[in-house]
Amino acid sequence: MERNPEEAGFDPARLNRITEHLDRNYIQSGKIAGCQALVARHGQVAYFESLGCADAERSTPMRDDTIFRIYSMSKPITSVALMQLYEQGHFQLNDPVSRVIPGWRDQKVWVSGDADNMELKAPDGPMTFRHVLSHSGGLTYGATNHPVDKVYRRIGVNRDRNETLSTFMERIGQTPLRYEPGTAWLYSLSTDVCGGLVEAISGMPFDEYLQKNIFDPLEMADTSFWVAPEKQKRFAANYQRNPDKTLKLIDDPERSAYLTKPGFFSGGGGLTSTTADYLRFCEMLRRGGELGGARILGPRTIDLMHKNHLAGGRDLAGMAIGAFSETAYEGVGFGLGFAMTLGEVEAGTLGEGDYYWGGAASTIFWVDPKEDLVAIFMTQLMPSATFNFRGQLKNIIYSAIVD
């Protein structure tokens, strides 16, 4: 991949601090096995490097075409898919989701009590498409000790690869809502629900819809819910950090469940991809919904998606319940599939107006319309909160812009 840092408005020496930082502080110290970082501006790739190992056990070097588990970086792709159907007139953002999923009409809101003795009430207003696109509809991940989360586990609301989207949607409808729709923000299974809505509205299996309407038009040849046999040698290992700060292999690329096609297509976290593929998705966003002659969304729809849709224009610090997320909360809003930096002072970071998300294995990306910039970072280390890669890279990248 050709790099043109000067044409993109960067000081090359300052931009190469990315390599120095990642190699010295993460690769050589063994904090991660390997990684990739890419920076592009004005459509020009300014920086792209592959460092360390994709598989430390086998000493397999990180390749430019290594395939990664992108986990929650699947969410923006799913959100784009649902907004394609919005553009076709299938729904309005304030429409109840129960218009498409009638079994959800009688969902109640948790008021008090434990999983065996709950007080519930009818919601003040329905869960809408806007709510599920912005994690503000009353859903949760089912992972805490809250009574509603316990109901999720009891009913079997999960993203088991042997599950189906239709069964998943049915089970969600049997659970109470964690809070009144629109009144809070809680990172949740909402984007998996968005995938179920794409399937229900389009009449196509979700994986086939993504292939036909996003991956094929954008030529994202290596993005899928599973890794085909001929691509297995490019699949990275996934690691977890032990209490003693060593790495523990948690998903062997030669034995991974990702080597077989799943039954459940998780729009919230199921995709694998490459840096080059995800760049094509980001470039489509940067260019207002089009790339290489393929129009995925209209530019005004893209603009709508990265506006702050939280009630009253508040930031996540004023709306979020629960600590689990892929972003800090201060000075950060949330739109239709993306977080965004509302203010540099409040967020304590450069890049006001950028929109972004990350994945559980420490992958991140952002698009900055003001700077006309895209940045992508790929590695495989869980959990994503272990290191603040996004903050560190932002410091280096923005301070390297000199035009």
Band (89; pLDDT cuts 50, 70, 90): very high
Band (324; pLDDT cuts 50, 70, 90): confident
According to DSSP, the residues that pair with 245 across neighbouring strands are: none
With 0.95 as the threshold, say if the pTM is over it.
yes
Average pLDDT over residues 30-53: 98
Band (120; pLDDT cuts 50, 70, 90): very high
- Rounded to 5 degrees, φ, ψ at 47 are -150, 135
Amino acid 78: pLDDT: 98
Amino acid 311: pLDDT: 94
One-letter amino acid at 279 equals: L
Amino acid 359: pLDDT: 98
pLDDT over threshold 90, residue 322: no
Amino acid 259: pLDDT: 98
| Integer Cα distance of 260 and 299 in angstroms | 36
pLDDT in tens, 358-394: 999 999 999 999 999 999 999 999 999 999 999 999 9
Contact 354, 367 (CB under 8 A): yes
Average pLDDT over residues 45-68: 98
Contact 367, 285 (CB under 8 A): yes
Amino acid 1: pLDDT: 83
Amino acid 55: pLDDT: 98
According to DSSP, the residues that pair with 310 across neighbouring strands are: none
**What is the overall mean pLDDT for the chain?**
97
pLDDT over threshold 90, residue 342: yes
pLDDT in tens, 184-197: 999 999 999 999 99
Virtual torsion, Cα 148, 150, 153, 155, nearest 10 deg: -60
Contact 12, 6 (CB under 8 A): yes
Contact 280, 219 (CB under 8 A): yes
| Integer Cα distance of 42 and 46 in angstroms | 10
- 3-class SS letters over the chain: CCCCCCCCCECHHHHCHHHHHHHHHHHCCCCCCEEEEEEEECCEEEEEEEEEEEECCCCEECCCCCEEECHHHHHHHHHHHHHHHHHCCCCCCCCEHHHCCHHHCCCCEEEEEECCEEEEECCCCCCEHHHHHCCCCCCCCCCCCCHHHHHHHHHCCCCCCCCCHHHHHHHHCCCCECCCCCCCECCCCHHHHHHHHHHHHHCCCHHHHHHHHHHCCCCCCCCECCCCHHHHHHECCEEEECCCCCEEEEECCCCCHHHCCCCCCCCCCCCEECHHHHHHHHHHHHCCCEECCEECCCHHHHHHHCCCCCHHHCCHHHCECCCCCCCCCCCEEECCCCEEECCHHHHCCCCCCCEEEECCCCCEEEEECCCCEEEEEECCEECHHHCCHHHHHHHHHHHCECC
